[in-house]
Structure 1
Amino acid sequence: MNDNPILAPTARPADMPTRRYSLAALRSLIATWRERARFRRGLEDISKANPHMIDDIGLKRWQAEAEIAKPFWQP
């Protein structure tokens, strides 16, 4: 028997659900990422072409820059 706790198999409680990933969940995640990237590109275009419109949508300049700087996987 292996007494090493790192290599020993871990017991899962009976009430602990197992994670199941599906193709639909993956597609949904990718669609979310694409929408975030599209939104941030659009916000960047607006901030460059018409900076006054940032105020019209209710954002401060620093808020728009912070949103544009985020990678697509961050909400």
Structure 2
Amino acid sequence: MSRSLHAAQLALLNNQAGLPSAARALIVLAVVMTKWDRHRRTRKALHRLEPHLLKDIGFSRAAAEIEAGKPFWRD
């Protein structure tokens, strides 16, 4: 597991009854930031893959560059 809590764990925590509004807002923020961090890390890794590895996962270099070039906040 990464340094931050996994998004599913944060969502489960957010579903706990009786959490103050501020705590819920911070949990939602943590979930979003965790998702953005995952996007950033996976796109960076995709950008570094060699052509034969891209072929193994069904990506062309052009498709990998397009995906790697997306900002972290986009799905």
**TM-score, structure 1 normalization:** 0.64
Q: Point out the structure with the larger helix share.
A: 2
Q: Secondary structure at the residue paired with 1:70?
A: coil
Q: Which amino acid aligns with 2:56?
A: D
1:26 is the counterpart of 2:34: no
Q: Compare CA radii of gyration and give the structure with the larger one.
A: 1
Q: Secondary structure at the residue paired with 1:66?
A: helix
Counterpart for residue 47 of structure 2: 44
Matches within 5 A, 1:1-75: 22-46=25-49, 50-75=50-75
Q: Secondary structure at the residue paired with 1:28?
A: helix
Structure 2: tracts of 5 or more residues without a match: 1-20
Distance 1:51 1:22 in 2: 42
Q: Flag as ranges the 4+ runs of structure 1 deviating above 6 A.
A: none
Q: Percent identical across equivalent pairs?
A: 36
